[in-house]
Structure 1
């Protein structure tokens, strides 16, 4: 655990390159949208959004001129249809945009859109953000290398993301973890080890407790807990290898302490091997698509030279693999990291025969 782990406060927004744009079109992530992030910035005023305990959520509810609101609502309903349905207009008459919230915290400054089905009052959320290449790479890697499906769309400088349901990690650690029974704590500890390893393998940084969610699922007579990333701004940007390992953030101290208390060293090693093997199998399944994405990353600029030099030296010292020292950018570093995991998986598989 490190109390002085520093993350770049002003990470630049990297535009979506032509090559990445072509990739997104090929895999149907890129469509024509009826509204852009910049359109939503034209709000006329806002009010603070408080939680049920009257704490400031750092979100504000925005409102627009009457003559603009009707068009904005219709456009957002069409976005919903493209993201979660067939893209047609037939469902629009059944939808209502209940709220448009703007986040004043963090790099991405997203809009959160609440859409309700007026027939049954079910509602869902999606987010409108600036299309940062780092975030797009992070989302695609999440789709391919994690156990979870993720839905998003890109159009020019605008990114649409579906809402990822779950209990925010910081809220869970503070309010729910203390009441978990010993068996549940052991299971959560195991998931944190695997989550920690998965973030390291695919170089997803800044997994402080408020950047992931805990997803509980009831299974017969017990609850299964999973940990899922929800913020992908820090995909392959930072130079410090520790930033890609959630265990080193002070916000995750209680999770790390629980791992130490509940899981023996031999089991920690076992869970790491399990996660590496699972990621390697996903890499094989997504071979063509993953290589196409990595080709885009290798041709792209998504970090600064200082971070690239620092990270490739850090990983070389960790693995003694010269491929890392010979990397020229973040795309090559990630490609070599995934190749390293895959080679080790294949070597182990061969030894079993």
Structure 2
């Protein structure tokens, strides 16, 4: 039996004042006071089931009448900050339909469903305990991925927008086999790019339920994209394989798809395309990236044993001495970005092992 990639639960790390100053500089601090712990004071709950009557591991929570009125108003204000820059005029058109609490996972989030009463359109956002790893992950996602993401921090509380898509595990079980051969090849291409993106930015634990598949209709066909939705494991683990989705058994159907649909030359092409795109994003947001990485070098977001293990594995993988000389996860991240921007024009700075 193979050794599991992840053995211990990651601890939560506080947001240091340098990171808080950075978040305020880029409008990531909530102007509305909201505390995760306040939402924990619910007076009752019921289990939430999916359309097939399966337990979703979420519970719908209820509050006494006085607290519910105050909580609803605060949540509507948070929604307005996320989606309309704090315009309070929209509050009279909003209704908080549900507050759900997840009993599974590290962050134990609350999921808030907000509906526009004029047209019944609704959306979700999440409230979690703030963790520095997750905040770094969200910020790097916003800067370096093809997609932007909204989030806010208030003291030790984190507010995240909902990322729309089909969870990877559900997609593989129910929809993948229904895709055409051309669509499967396109999904394989996207998984190669997603795998490369996670590896470069050291985003770990991308098991199938931690990312979503996003289908978009384009003329006479469907284009599929892959987006991360969980950022807990940003720059923590020491095992390099944790940052490469291809090594999780939950992603085996995707790995088989890559081997079946793509030739080695195509895999190299798509990896090179993703490295080039990331190098351009790093360059275009150079000052912001440098500011964030400088804060990471001063922050403690992992264990010394993990840092030492990861830097040696990356040195062996790249032969770049900057990894060997790193003494923090921020240093390792800096070395990674420098390696990519220095070598992105090469055909293969990283080895292929699909």
TM-score (norm 2): 0.96
For 1:308 and 1:323, locate their aligned partners in 2 and report how far apart those are by CA, in whole Å. Answer: 13
The aligned counterpart of 2:51 is: 52
Could you tell me which runs of 5 or more consecutive residues in structure 2 were left unpaired when the two chains were aligned: 348-354
Q: 1:287 to 1:91 in 2, by over 3 A?
A: same
For 1:280 and 1:314, locate their aligned partners in 2 and report how far apart those are by CA, in whole Å. Answer: 22
1:184-223 map, 5 Å: 184-223=183-222
| Cα deviation code 1:272-306 (max 9, x no counterpart) | 11100000000011001010000110110000011
The aligned counterpart of 2:36 is: 37
Residue 95 (structure 2) pairs with residue 96 (structure 1) = yes
Could you tell me which runs of 5 or more consecutive residues in structure 1 were left unpaired when the two chains were aligned: 349-353
For 1:300 and 1:229, locate their aligned partners in 2 and report how far apart those are by CA, in whole Å. Answer: 24
How big is the alpha-carbon RMSD for the aligned residues of Structure 1 and Structure 2? Answer: 1.1
1:66, distance to aligned residue in structure 2 (A):
1.0
For 2:146 and 2:309, locate their aligned partners in 1 and report how far apart those are by CA, in whole Å. Answer: 30
SS at match of 1:233: coil
1:35, distance to aligned residue in structure 2 (A):
1.9
For 1:322 and 1:293, locate their aligned partners in 2 and report how far apart those are by CA, in whole Å. Answer: 22
1:5/1:248 contact within 8 Å kept:
no
For 2:345 and 2:20, locate their aligned partners in 1 and report how far apart those are by CA, in whole Å. Answer: 33
**4+ aligned runs moved over 6 Å, structure 1:** none
Q: 1:78 to 1:311 in 2, by over 3 A?
A: same
2:44/2:61 contact within 8 Å kept:
yes
SS at match of 1:90: helix
1:7, distance to aligned residue in structure 2 (A):
1.6
| Cα deviation code 1:134-172 (max 9, x no counterpart) | 000000000111000100001110110000000000000
Residue 174 (structure 2) pairs with residue 155 (structure 1) = no
For 1:28 and 1:303, locate their aligned partners in 2 and report how far apart those are by CA, in whole Å. Answer: 26
The aligned counterpart of 2:239 is: 240
Provide the aligned length of Structure 1 versus Structure 2.
347
Q: 1:6 to 1:176 in 2, by over 3 A?
A: same
1:170/1:209 contact within 8 Å kept:
yes
Out of 30-39 and 123-132, give the one that drifted further: 30-39
1:347, distance to aligned residue in structure 2 (A):
6.4
1:34/1:78 contact within 8 Å kept:
no
| Cα deviation code 1:7-45 (max 9, x no counterpart) | 244211101100000000001111332321111011111
1:235-314 map, 5 Å: 235-314=234-313
For 2:44 and 2:111, locate their aligned partners in 1 and report how far apart those are by CA, in whole Å. Answer: 16
